[in-house]
Structure 1
Amino acid sequence: MILQRGITGKNHNVDDHFPKPAGKEFKQLCYTLIAQLDGRVLAFSEPQIDTNYFHVELEVFKERLHLLLNENHRYLAVASEVDYFKLTFIDEPTLTRQFAPYYTVLQQAELNERIQLRPGRKKGALLNENDLCKEELVDLVYWNPKTVGQAVFNHWD
């Protein structure tokens, strides 16, 4: 997966225009699409100062699952566990089909791809294909995420 500019939540360039998802639209879609699956939304959270994603906790298929939507890009992920530094991403084909017309639903393999950092450098330290700005690269070195998913959906301030 190519890590696109703004994916980590940083946006220091006012000229950058991201295809930002609308929180209200996402919330409405979640309630509608999850109800069609005989599920229910338990909680909806917008991005905070230390998170860069919308978080929906839901009950569907007799399971408690989570939907994460990046705040700057229309990237959606399904997780079975969302804890401060532990995100367990899963592939859920039915949810993928429901949300794919509206968002790019990232798969577990993409999200679990290892972040490869060149030791001892800040600029140019990331070996994964990317279009990140300098501030994002500095954050990656500082926060040291292990996977692409931890960079795309993070708890950095």
Structure 2
Amino acid sequence: MKADSPQVAFRLERGSTGFRHSRDSPLPETDPRACRTVWYAAARAACGQVGTFAEQQYPQNFHSATINDRDGVHVALFHAQYPLIAFVDDLRYWYADGFQDPPAWAASLNDCGFTVLSASLLMAPLAEADTAALSTAEWSQIKHWKPQTLGATLFNSWD
């Protein structure tokens, strides 16, 4: 089933928040070069141009990018640990809302091994997600920052 299927709870994998305890094994990483490569391919599919691509800067756990096409500017967040992509309304330091449905051309990103997440999934309450794989360190951060949505948990700037 698709990641945003209403019949299946979205699973947050260990490290989805970008946090781990120093004793834990390192988190996986989404190679920013791979993100940039698929973003340029998406720009071609959109008949647009890449505006920006900014690699993750601490404390953000995402890379950000824009594409300019005939419909305007599209802003995407690439998760730094997993190949997940969210579309948002504008570039910001952190996100609790502002998640948008992807444009039609974003399907090309799925074909490249990334999962493009819908606005409804990202705005869903965190309580509806499968959080069994999250670590104690991640739960500590969640209790501190109190994100209300799946999107705010996945794409954050917690320090």
TM-score under structure 2 length normalisation: 0.81
Cα distance per residue 1:100-128 (max 9 Å; x no partner): 11201111111011124xxxxxxxxxx74
- Asked if 2 retains the 8 angstrom alpha-carbon contact of 1:54 and 1:68, the reply is yes
Q: Tell me: CA distance 1:150–1:95, structure 2 relative to 1, closer, same or farther (3 Å).
A: farther
* 1:74 maps to 2:83: yes
The number of residue pairs the alignment matches comes to 145
- Which consecutive unaligned segments of at least 5 residues does structure 1 have? 117-126
Report the AA paired with residue 144 of structure 2.
Y
State percent identity of aligned pairs: 23
Q: 1:6-155 residue pairs with structure 2 within 5 A?
A: 6-12=15-21, 13-14=24-25, 18=28, 20-86=29-95, 87-101=97-111, 102-116=113-127, 128-130=129-131, 131-155=133-157
- Asked if 2 retains the 8 angstrom alpha-carbon contact of 1:64 and 1:80, the reply is no
Structure with the larger strand share: 1
Give the Cα–Cα distance (whole angstroms) in 1 for the partners of residues 103 and 50 of structure 2: 18
- Which consecutive unaligned segments of at least 5 residues does structure 2 have? 1-9
Aligned to 2:5: none
Offset at residue 93 of structure 1 (A): 4.3
Q: Tell me: CA distance 1:25–1:46, structure 2 relative to 1, closer, same or farther (3 Å).
A: same
Offset at residue 17 of structure 1 (A): 5.6
Report the AA paired with residue 125 of structure 2.
R
- Asked if 2 retains the 8 angstrom alpha-carbon contact of 1:82 and 1:88, the reply is no
Tell me which moved more, 85-94 or 54-63: 85-94
Q: CA RMSD in A?
A: 1.9
